[in-house]
Amino acid sequence: MTGITKESPFDLRNAAAYAEWREQKITAGTRALSAGFVAISDPMNMADSEVEAILSRCRDTNIALYSTPPETDDSILRGNLRAMADRLGMGEPEGHRSKGEAAIVALTVSNRPSQRGFIPYSRKALNWHTDGYYNAPDNTIRGFILHCVQDAMAGGVNQILDNDIAYIRLRDENPDYITALSHPRAMTIPETQEEDGTLRPASIGPVFHVEGDDLIMRYTARTRSIEWRDDPVTREAVTFLQNLLIEGDPLMLEAKLKPGQGVFNNNALHNRTAFDGDEVGNHSRRIMYRVRFNNRIRST
């Protein structure tokens, strides 16, 4: 990987720095399993202690579950999400200028022609991925908020895993896996039709790259419309990661978010189980709001 200093835990030759960082990550990840939700009483005016609680969890594990009083007024809710993101230094949402209000995307079962047939807008399970894995390098997604407006009657559980932990599992198994997945052509998403009908160019890049002290991950567990670099170690690494995510890691978080609850994170790996399959017709009450950012959460 380029851009890694000798002192970095991400330098594969620096066993000491890696061991120290790894220990901290495992300890913090274990603690996070029972940390629960950070309660935010007024999203428009977060208390300093609430902000610090979120930042501290994100410094530790890149993920912070939170709860707010459920809000039924849509424009107040959207304002709340923007206000919290501001306090956490996430900057402008991705596509804010071009999409206006749509910078906050409602993930719900949709029969709109532009969304019909796309898994995020269905009741189907969503495979493990990081957000925006198909984006161009100049539009890397480094953080997002997922906020529950209305939960499903049944299912719709999210699992989320700190990318650093995925890196640790891979490196502990075989450091060559990290080298393979850091190759600038490791993962290709071919050119495709976007949800709005426009053509999205092919996205070619690594799974892992490092920016300063931060590990950035770009990944999808989907098996269709994805090309992995044709190399035996890459194939092994991809299989290992897929198995890890399917079998589950002790440090995975799992939550069925309730109205008002959500998660701030530095674009960690996540999935979603299927939901409301027993509801009549293509219907579910579940609504999740998602806001993506090119920035990470401030200083985390």
Interface positions with Fe ion (CB under 5 A): 131
- 77 phi and psi, to 5 degrees? -60, -45
Identity of the residue, 131 or 162, whose beta carbon is nearer to Fe ion in the bound complex: 131
Which residues make Cβ contacts (< 8 Å) with residue 189, sequence separation at least 6? 133, 134, 202, 203, 204, 220, 225, 226, 227
Q: Residue 12 CB, nearest distance to Fe ion (Å)?
A: 29
Q: Are strands 187-189 and 63-67 parallel, antiparallel or unpaired?
A: unpaired
Residue among 94 and 131 whose Cβ is closer to Fe ion: 131
Of 22 and 222, the one with the shorter C-beta distance to Fe ion is 222
Task: Pick the closer one to Fe ion by CB: 56 or 110.
Answer: 110
Closest CA to 57 of 43, 39, 44, 81: 39
Q: Is the dihedral of CA 286, 291, 296, 300 positive or negative?
A: negative
Q: Tell me the closest approach of the beta carbon of residue 175 to Fe ion, in angstroms.
A: 28
Q: How far is the CB of 97 from Fe ion (least distance, A)?
A: 22
Distance of closest approach, residue 290 Cβ to Fe ion, in angstroms: 7
> Which residue has the CB atom at the shortest distance from Fe ion?
131
Least separation, in Å, of the C-beta of 146 and Fe ion?
A: 8
CB atoms within 10 A of CB 31: 12
Q: Which is nearer to Fe ion, 18 or 133 (CB)?
A: 133
Longest distance between any two alpha carbons in the chain, whole Å: 58
